[in-house]
């Protein structure tokens, strides 16, 4: 394991993130899951779907 990761983990253990930061992260994750669920159910509008561009070599 990279020593930088060990230092980062020790910093997180000593100073955990605030409640607001945790709520923000969970909010973003929930928003992404809602968007994925809407798209899977077929309720996502066509205008919001990106079209794939063909690759030109």
Number of domains the chain contains: 1
CA angle in degrees (0–180, nearest 5) for 12-16-18: 140
Residue 24 lies in a domain: yes
Residue 29 lies in a domain: yes
Residue 10 lies in a domain: no
In the predicted model, what is the mean pLDDT of residues 33-47? 93
Domain carrying residue 22: 17-41
The 3-state DSSP composition of the chain as helix, strand, coil percent (nearest 5) reads: 65, 0, 35
Of 2 and 24, the one with more pLDDT: 24
Residue 35 lies in a domain: yes
**pLDDT value at residue 27:** 98
Is residue 17 over pLDDT 80?
yes
Rounded to whole angstroms, the Cα distance separating 55 from 51 reads: 12
Running DSSP on this structure, what letter comes out for residue 49?
Answer: S
Burial label, 6 (beta-carbon count in 10 A; 0-12, 13-18, 19+): exposed
């Amino acid at each position: 394991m990279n020593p930088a990761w060990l230092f980062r983990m020790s910093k997180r253990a000593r100073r955990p993130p605030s409640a607001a930061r945790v709520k923000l992260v969970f909010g973003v994750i929930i928003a992404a899951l809602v968007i994925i669920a809407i798209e899977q159910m077929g309720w996502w509008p066509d205008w919001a779907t990106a079209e794939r561009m063909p690759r030109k070599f």
